[in-house]
A and B are shown apart, each in its own frame.
Chain A
Amino acid sequence: MDIPVIIGLVIAVIVSLTVIGLYNSIIGGHNRAQRAWADVLTYERQKTKVLDALQEQVTQYQEYEQSLLGEITRLRSAIAELPAAADGNSLAKTEQATQALLSGLRVAFEAYPDLKASEVLNNLMREITEQQENVGAAIVIFNGEVERFNNTLQMFPGSLVNGALNKKSPITPFTDAQAAQGFSYRPNL
């Protein structure tokens, strides 16, 4: 066999292996981001279990019932609306509802000593805060995976492989628009 033919074959094999590797890494990256998103959903939905217990407790305290029950319902419906496909933007409503509920609980705790003294309510408060911390950490992991996936998608030569074969779209990471409003600084992204 001629040397040019051998060189051509070697180059063809290297290119094929690279394309296969990139194709698989895009699929793997998408699946990892999807799994990280599933973690976010899991911990968001675990909050609803705590909400059931919280709702039960709060109904015993008639005077705080109305406002807190309203917050609980809002959070529950926001969690129910979360899509199965990875999308950081869709989290904004849930996060706002969670913050509103936690703030409402804190205000009620501070204002009414009998609420603050309730051990069960304190433990539920701690549990929901812990679930929220898990959601926060899951979002950190999700955003990391999204960045990695989007980089593979948008950087050369991954962009070529994705354009020709995978045809995946970049995933939107979660950004806290409410927190961002508090900054006068805007990065020129």
Chain B
Amino acid sequence: MGNRTHNAQLKGVIELATQTGQSARNKQDLLHAVQAIRDFKGPLRFDNTLPWCLTLLLAGLTLVVVGLCYQYPMQATTWAAKVTPDKAHLLLLAVVAGLLTMTLLSLRAIFKRANLLSGLSTDLARRSSLFSAGLSPIDSPPGLILEQLGEHFEDYQRGNHSRDITRALRGRYQGPLHSFEYAYYQLHYVVRRLEQEEVSDGKGGTRQQTRVVYDHHDRFSLVLDFPWIEGIAVRSGGPSAIDFEHKHQTSSTDFNRAFTLTGASAMACARFAKPVTVVHLLGLKPRFSQLNLEFSLNQGGLCISFDNSDLLGFQLPCDLHSPSEFHALIDAGVPLPALTQLLEAIHTLAEQHDDNFNLPRQATPHMEN
């Protein structure tokens, strides 16, 4: 009875912390959720003695039944025939399948329960990472967002079957010199294509058949105001729709192989392709797959897009199994290294292209939640 009470209490605390975490609006709410686990008296592991005994019993029973059927097939069939004379073999199979299913269900329940705390840790850390980066959801309807983005950036015209914004967040970056608002978007798009395949014609031969294939892709991007450059596209992959009229070859063969640089005018390209920018973008290329930069023509906006799904990824050095360490981690704020790296790279790009004689006033440090 004592074990059941412990398990029920632990489950109750985890559920309470989960609810607190899900409704968290700031770091303090997350810390309350962690504190609930921290205050739990007793070990933070479920006592799985009984479920393991049951699982082993079921597994043993399954083996015994299979062994008996294998060793004494006649007797087993005779026994089964007494229950269902017509479907004796089917009954034996059903018994084995039933026992095996119960064993697997029991195992699944054990592991699911064991992962409750790890799952909650990941969820709290994910929320903490968003709070510490100052990211919050954009409430506009996804269709409207996509329409507005499509007006300024060709990179969102992907997918001939469907496209949808599946995640939209906004944040603010405070760099040493410049600060900027930015939006993070995840675009899910589907490409519909026809594929020829060989199928049997039923007469021993084959025939060609056309089938429709839907390829699902995700594209990740940051969008922000970038008033220093207009009408430039730097493309390392994907459709050439983002390209502008004038193609420009820089003096770097490595850059020309890695990117296609186009602009609204040859002058715009030449001004953009400063050596520092060429070297800077070449440095970014290995980190981001299919990296594209699109500077809109008139609005002074930048869309930097790529295939990497780990921009909001984070490291979890500890979890709620060590609640004090985890509390300190959440208190310090879970960092998003890839996002920070990209924002710093954008800030560097801004420094390379801003006007040194028209700089913003020195910014105050950004306060994290």
Contacts and interface: CB of A to CB of B under 8 A. Distances in A.
Contact of A144 (B252, B274, B276, B351): B252
A145 B278 CA distance: 14
A93 interface: no
A138 interface: yes
Contacts of B250: 141
Contact of A148 (B253, B280, B351, B359): B253
Contact of A32 (B251, B276, B278, B356): B251
Contacts of B252: 36, 141, 144-145
B275 interface: yes
B72 interface: no
A141 B274 contact: no
Interface in B199-221: none
Interface in B267-309: 274-276, 278-280
Given A43-B275, A134-B275, A134-B276, A141 B251 contact: yes
A126 interface: yes
Nearest to A149: B253
A148 to B, nearest CB: 6
A74 interface: no
Nearest to B252: A141
Contact of B274 (A123, A127, A137, A142): A137
B254 interface: yes
A65 interface: no
A141 B278 CA distance: 9
B70 interface: no
B279 A145 contact: no
Interface residues of B, number: 17
Interface in A121-168: 123, 126-127, 130, 133-138, 140-142, 144-145, 148
B253 A138 contact: no
A142 B279 CA distance: 11
A16 to B, nearest CB: 26
A137 B276 contact: yes
Contacts of B186: none
Contacts, number: 52
Interface range on chain A: under 10, 10 to 19, 20 to 34, or 35 or more? 20 to 34
Contact of A123 (B251, B275, B276, B356): B356
A39 interface: yes
B111 interface: no
Contacts of A137: 274-276, 278-280
Nearest to A141: B252
Given A137-B275, A140-B275, A39 B356 contact: no
A123 B253 contact: no
Interface string A25-53: 00000001001101100010000000000
A126 B251 contact: no
Interface string B244-276: 000000111111000000000000000000111
Nearest to B250: A141
A139 to B, nearest CB: 8
A142 B278 CA distance: 12
Contacts of B351: 130
Nearest to A126: B356
Given A123-B357, A127-B356, A39 B251 contact: yes
B352 interface: yes
A22 to B, nearest CB: 16
Given A130-B352, A137-B278, A141-B278, A123 B254 contact: no
B356 A130 contact: yes
A39 B250 CA distance: 10
B274 A35 contact: no
Count chain A CB atoms within 10 A of each CB in B250, B252, B274 and give the residue with the most: B252
A141 B258 CA distance: 14
A143 B356 CA distance: 28
A133 B278 CA distance: 12
A145 B253 contact: yes
Interface of A: 32, 35-36, 38-39, 43, 123, 126-127, 130, 133-138, 140-142, 144-145, 148
Query: Which 9 A-B residue pairings sit nearest by Cβ, starting from the closest?
Result: A137-B275, A138-B275, A137-B279, A36-B251, A137-B276, A141-B252, A127-B356, A35-B251, A126-B356
Interface of B: 250-255, 274-276, 278-280, 351-352, 356-357, 359
29 contacts: A32-B253, A36-B251, A38-B251, A39-B275, A123-B357, A123-B359, A126-B356, A126-B359, A130-B351, A130-B352, A134-B274, A134-B276, A135-B275, A136-B275, A136-B276, A137-B274, A137-B275, A137-B276, A137-B278, A137-B280, A138-B275, A140-B275, A140-B279, A141-B250, A141-B251, A141-B278, A141-B279, A144-B253, A145-B253
